[in-house]
Structure 1
């Protein structure tokens, strides 16, 4: 049975409230966050009170119980503001919750879903220094003991790890590479467990206020109940199931941030004068603005279509990947056009265009690079062709 989501009228009221909150509260806070590289505690408390950390978590566990369309539209609304606000809630409502709902035991759901819905921050540990999209190269190991597991290894570029209370950690439970990545299992690991250490937050090109860091595990002991679903060899499958939602989330964020950049470019073009008139009057400026509007509209249509299909129960692996690729590449084009419209001012840190350009670059990389997703889309196309012979 598909999730009907929140009541439609209640959801529309929520979106209206969130949009007002974004424009009246979050946008004015951005300069402080850029200077301090952190979201203020009072804003985090407000986000918790609004239920933003539990959007996709079922109501019986303290969440909002949104369906995919509602969840992604919420992300789209929130992501008009700087990326840090989406980033801080993204793992809770995306990969962590999805994996737990799809593969967790009743006891695991009962323990962890209320905690992350209330705002305890989660992280998701798949990427390692020597492996990202290549699961066969995963080195973190989980060795079984009489009463649980011992984990050793390092995870890299882990979003929210400096703040996280819990991590969903992918670890090798077989030395051999097995079909369908059955050598990888998933473990729910409290980040305060003995042997867990978090590296220093990495300095990044953009996305001020969001943090990534290494997670190092040195003989970390967890009980048998830490194995997600109580089953060996299912970890990678659960991770992959959760990636569709993650990719739609990044696509929605890129689409919203492109709109933010275009709004900024239009405003600047009407205010900036050259040769005695606003540069918005010049046709080549208009061409950049118009092409950006066309690109954003196409991404918005893809977002609406793929989320509707997901709620209808379709397999959207290919379409979610396509949306993420198009939206992230599109956002790159739009922020580049924004810098160009700003001209010399677009290269200065005191103007927003420079920040938009840096912030948007990661969208083409995380949750599957453009190139990896193109390969995945092509692989599924060719498999379908051969199957239909």
Structure 2
């Protein structure tokens, strides 16, 4: 390991190297970021020195393969890091989350060699911020309803430019993005495929505009915005993988992987809420007695600890199944559903244990309560996860019944 970052050699990250990476990130989070959480919330931005430190540590590319300049962590290691990142303001992780996750993984898994060579190294270094431009007002958790369109200038020439028109909403990091990984419909779905393609559109391209960043309930410092494509012309080389029907599959795989990461992050946040509650219960008195001695408070703490431990075990199991290839559909949805619902319950109990002080803006549990509400919405709502899980189980049952 170098003195200035987390870069390591070799084809894979072994257990010893990863333990060092994780410890370095833990120290960074707990000694440098946690003390500045209020500054992040009040300023609605990540301070530049923390952004630069994250770049130097390699956090903009921890899930990008080493051949492209990243750390090359697999998903099992990714979720361990996610638990550390979840311990503080979720805006910090969001700053580089799209580079490593839903945007970067589209390129890692589906990009041409030329596209990878052009974009992955600057994405891994943080020189380029990539945004995942999928969600639209009428197409959120299910991209089948996309209305953004892409049309070839010359329909008879596969090397012809494309014209992209449409709008996206709630796009994370859009105001800071250099590259939009943009999903668009090239034709109605038919027997040949979904008709959804994905394009690499630099933010500086003529016709691309980004609205002022949204004002949200929580996660201050994590910016989302509407993005508009008005007659945006891109070359044929911007079509990811060089295939017009790649978009839907690329979106689903990237989102499924991201769901396991989000689950890990939720566990980290739940652990923080529990730690804050234990500290408060141990030192705060009521009638001269520490409130942690009261059985009803202990019951809430017990439920919180049970949720954290169950979530941690579940997310590790889901990540292992992803790495082995055993389950890359149902398990990610199970992990995201349980862990994001669990952290909401843990955050609610944390506020309750803190009493009136838990409702005050300067308290970490108040911020956590607001921040985690979003986890049940993005990268597929809890309702969508239930449909994926239930539908997948029924399909498997029918296969077994037929055989």
TM-score with structure 2 setting the length: 0.94
Is the contact made by 1:181 and 1:236 (CA closer than 8 Å) also made in structure 2?
A: no
Report the equivalent of 2:99.
Answer: 92
Q: Distance in 1 between matches of 2:92 and 2:361?
A: 21
Query: Structure 2: which 5+ residue stretches go unaligned?
Result: 1-9, 155-159
1:231-310 → structure 2 map (5 Å cutoff): 231-310=243-322
Q: Distance in 2 between matches of 1:227 and 1:306?
A: 31
Question: What's the secondary structure of 1:162's corresponding residue?
Answer: helix
| Deviation (angstroms), 1:4 | 7.4
Q: Distance in 2 between matches of 1:238 and 1:335?
A: 33
Report the equivalent of 1:339.
Answer: 351
Q: How many residues align?
A: 386
- CA change 1:124–1:74 in 2 (3 A) is same
Q: Distance in 1 between matches of 2:65 and 2:365?
A: 39
Q: Distance in 1 between matches of 2:27 and 2:371?
A: 23
Matched, 1:318 2:330: yes
1:40-189 → structure 2 map (5 Å cutoff): 40-119=47-126, 120-146=128-154, 147-174=160-187, 176-178=188-190, 182-189=194-201
Q: Distance in 1 between matches of 2:11 and 2:335?
A: 23
Query: Structure 1: which 5+ residue stretches go unaligned?
Result: none
Q: Distance in 2 between matches of 1:13 and 1:136?
A: 42
Q: Distance in 1 between matches of 2:166 and 2:340?
A: 31
Q: Distance in 2 between matches of 1:221 and 1:28?
A: 45
Is the contact made by 2:257 and 2:328 (CA closer than 8 Å) also made in structure 1?
A: no
| Deviation (angstroms), 1:313 | 2.1
- CA change 1:289–1:92 in 2 (3 A) is same
- CA change 1:181–1:129 in 2 (3 A) is farther
Question: What's the secondary structure of 1:333's corresponding residue?
Answer: helix
Report the equivalent of 1:376.
Answer: 388
The RMSD of aligned alpha carbons is 1.3
Q: Distance in 1 between matches of 2:190 and 2:214?
A: 33
Q: Distance in 1 between matches of 2:303 and 2:248?
A: 39
Q: Deviations over 1:351-387 (max 9, x none)?
A: 2221111011001111110011101111111111111
Q: Deviations over 1:302-353 (max 9, x none)?
A: 1111111211122321011000000000000000000100111111112222
Report the equivalent of 1:223.
Answer: 235
Q: Distance in 1 between matches of 2:380 and 2:44?
A: 25
| Deviation (angstroms), 1:271 | 1.5
Of 31, 40, 44, the residue aligned with 1:37 is 44
Is the contact made by 1:136 and 1:181 (CA closer than 8 Å) also made in structure 2?
A: no
Question: What's the secondary structure of 2:88's corresponding residue?
Answer: coil
1:19-30 → structure 2 map (5 Å cutoff): 19-30=26-37
Question: What's the secondary structure of 2:175's corresponding residue?
Answer: coil
| Deviation (angstroms), 1:86 | 1.0
Q: Distance in 2 between matches of 1:210 and 1:180?
A: 39
Question: What's the secondary structure of 2:234's corresponding residue?
Answer: strand
- CA change 1:4–1:62 in 2 (3 A) is closer
- CA change 1:180–1:386 in 2 (3 A) is farther
| Deviation (angstroms), 1:180 | 8.3
- CA change 1:180–1:259 in 2 (3 A) is farther
